[in-house]
Structure 1
């Protein structure tokens, strides 16, 4: 069983609407727009002066604006001698060569969930708010990198899709859809188990090879059908996986008798029962392990988000870690 999405978080949040009584529970369009001011805090995409670990995801159609310095590595047979970095070579006493990457653009398609599963939080924000913040930040970062941005908001049976375009208006349309979906979330809404699979199938229909699909969803959303769809999608486009969870999704505190309610159903759990807590923890660990196994199998970057932690700090930590299969 999962915690019912009726818990209320501490109202500690930031942004233009931080004083709203439902801050942390709902997110407004103004807050999503305000996320553009935070893109400099974390290098999601490379710039001429900052190289992101996600640069490997960014290898699509050239825009023809030249090349950027990428990194320095040890000289290998066949390298152009004109690219030798003489300063590094003199300092290390070993030949090193400069590598460059061409400036590129690509469609970046953000699939973000807003369902009753995410309408829950035991800390400062609901999972639905954290997912919306992450999607917005990635959208603004992509737009600042001159990429085409679009996406799809899913979760309640109806999908709201914005085709990728290199325009601020396109991103604002996506964020407006996202804010509207968030505003209509309720604790008693029934969850549509087919919503994720349908969203992934739609992505397969509209995305061309070389696109980047960013998946922002509840950690519990991954099932057999969705995993199959992700596997098929990964054959044609690059994927970035961002599952969102709350600590109560993975472990129950020893807090005595807890009562849960959702869509007319009620449940009582005695959390002093150690066996119950252990079984619940194993279930949560299994969900996390399934995402990790999928990412390892498909060699995809996995960036899980915890609703108890600051978004920027978590992204920084993920980006500082080596990607699976990346050279060390």
Structure 2
């Protein structure tokens, strides 16, 4: 693909997303033999369907489950033997990442669309290093670009290429489709096998009744990690006087010196954040909200440290 001229914080290209692989070690997203991450529960949680692999056969010991006795080896050796299993380590990791006009905005360090692309890339490289199969779906207004999960760098590069293309195609003149998130979640439910890990990167404002229902259905058979994206201006208006907005012929004026208006606006932003929090608690899944006002690695490190269980004295 041909990269557009560099526009830091506004657009990304494939080379920048590939470079994110060098930052994987800066934040512990998945577990290592020497260190457990707060997200290890996503890889060793409740098993849904086929989630264990055969390991070895050994001599039966008191306390072993009689259902795991290997009768062929027992008959051949004339001594009871049992099968040992270990939990399946490799699993599909499916990254659902939004690139729609509603993300083509930012008042902080970057646009929300750039933040989503960076986070998807970082998680993808971390999952590949963790030996997971990587795939995903880039969704926006008029198309869904899907890459089936495979344990290969090529699969991740295909996803990142689609992500960069979608990011560079964004414009402020396009209109966001209300149901694009719901359609993407529905597609994920159709293609993913039980036990998959689904990473959801979307605008905080996309959550509605329909998409919330799809997330609840998806959570029945997969593990979810929710990363809603926001900008400081999504939550609070500055006291900047009279502001005029225009879009496709429609105009709107807001007097931001009006304290009641600013309070109502803050309440709406807080209500959106609270809805994500209630959903995450209901589904029992991690919630890592991201904002354009801070650097990605810094945010993830702070979020994961907050979720890491504290040692008891």
TM, length-normalised to structure 1: 0.80
Residues of 2 paired with 1:33 and 1:115: CA distance? 21
Residue of structure 2 equivalent to 1:125 = 110
Task: Determine if contact 2:109/2:295 at 8 Å carries over to the other structure.
Answer: no
Residue of structure 2 equivalent to 1:71 = none
Residue of structure 2 equivalent to 1:216 = 201
Are 2:229 and 1:240 equivalent residues in the alignment?
no
Residues of 1 paired with 2:136 and 2:222: CA distance? 14
Task: Determine if contact 1:64/1:103 at 8 Å carries over to the other structure.
Answer: no
* Aligned mate of 2:138, from 144, 153, 174: 153
Residue of structure 2 equivalent to 1:107 = 92
Are 2:106 and 1:116 equivalent residues in the alignment?
no
* SS of structure 2 residue aligned to 1:117: helix
Q: Which runs of 5+ in 1 are unaligned?
A: 1-16, 67-77, 79-100
* CA drift at 1:327: 10
Residues of 1 paired with 2:126 and 2:52: CA distance? 19
* CA drift at 1:259: 2.0
Q: Which runs of 5+ in 2 are unaligned?
A: 57-62, 64-85
State how 1:254-273 maps to structure 2 within 5 Å. 254-273=239-258
* CA drift at 1:188: 1.2
* CA drift at 1:62: 4.7
* CA drift at 1:157: 2.3
Residue of structure 1 equivalent to 2:153 = 168
When the two structures are aligned, how many residues end up with a matched partner?
Answer: 277
* SS of structure 2 residue aligned to 1:316: helix
Cα gap change, 1:65/1:256 in structure 2, threshold over 3 Å: closer, same or farther? farther
Residue deviations 1:192-237 (CA, integer Å, cap 9, x gap) = 1111000000000001110000000000000000000000000010
More displaced stretch, 289-298 vs 259-268 = 259-268
* CA drift at 1:104: 0.5
Which of the two has higher C-alpha Rg? 2
Cα gap change, 1:263/1:37 in structure 2, threshold over 3 Å: closer, same or farther? farther
Task: Determine if contact 2:28/2:37 at 8 Å carries over to the other structure.
Answer: yes
Residues of 2 paired with 1:197 and 1:323: CA distance? 31
Task: Determine if contact 1:150/1:165 at 8 Å carries over to the other structure.
Answer: yes
Task: Determine if contact 2:93/2:134 at 8 Å carries over to the other structure.
Answer: yes
* SS of structure 2 residue aligned to 1:267: strand
Task: Determine if contact 1:150/1:174 at 8 Å carries over to the other structure.
Answer: yes
TM, length-normalised to structure 2: 0.84
Residue deviations 1:8-34 (CA, integer Å, cap 9, x gap) = xxxxxxxxx9xx562111011111000
* SS of structure 2 residue aligned to 1:47: coil
Task: Determine if contact 1:63/1:105 at 8 Å carries over to the other structure.
Answer: no
Residues of 1 paired with 2:211 and 2:120: CA distance? 20
Task: Determine if contact 1:301/1:323 at 8 Å carries over to the other structure.
Answer: no
Residue deviations 1:280-306 (CA, integer Å, cap 9, x gap) = 000000000000000011111000001
* CA drift at 1:50: 1.9
Residues of 2 paired with 1:191 and 1:44: CA distance? 31
State how 1:1-328 maps to structure 2 within 5 Å. 22-59=7-44, 61-62=51-52, 104-322=89-307
* SS of structure 1 residue aligned to 2:136: strand
Residue of structure 2 equivalent to 1:84 = none
